């Protein structure tokens, strides 16, 4: 009986981690699209979105130079790098959960 409870708890945490990272990846992807499409950074929605996602991208800022086309379109390499790192971190965390807590 305890084993079933423990398995369900493990599945719950795995699903929680998956959904949290999925939402984060979606938010970062929208940020990436806004930058690459040249969205007006003075628009309220764009400014709010950048502020919301800034804490998640901040550790990776300037790790690689951004690529700018036609003085308007920005390939935000920091956001791409952040998305890759968060995805890898999720997989590592899930592997550790399964390693230590899976029966």
Express each pLDDT in 45-88 by its tens digit: 999 999 999 999 999 998 888 888 887 788 899 999 999 999 99
Q: What mean pLDDT is predicted for residues 5-18? A: 88
- DSSP sequence for the chain: -HHHHHHHHHHHHHHHHHHHHHHHHHHHHHHHHHHHTT--TTSHHHHHHHHHHHHHHGGGTTSSPPEEETTTEEE-HHHHHHHHHHHHHHHHHHHHHHHHH--
Domain boundaries, the chain: 2-101
* Average predicted confidence (pLDDT) for the chain: 90
pLDDT category at 26 given cuts 50, 70, 90 is very high
Q: What mean pLDDT is predicted for residues 26-41? A: 94
């Amino acid at each position: 009986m305890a084993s079933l409870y423990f398995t369900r708890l493990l599945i719950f945490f795995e699903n929680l981690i998956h959904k949290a990272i999925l939402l984060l990846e979606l938010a970062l992807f929208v940020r990436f699209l806004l930058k690459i499409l040249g969205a007006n950074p003075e628009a309220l929605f764009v400014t709010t979105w950048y502020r919301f996602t800034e804490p998640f991208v901040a550790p990776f800022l300037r790790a690689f130079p951004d690529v700018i086309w036609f003085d308007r379109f920005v390939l935000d390499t920091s956001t791409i790098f952040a998305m890759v790192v968060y995805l890898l971190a999720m997989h590592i965390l899930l592997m550790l959960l399964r390693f230590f807590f899976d029966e």
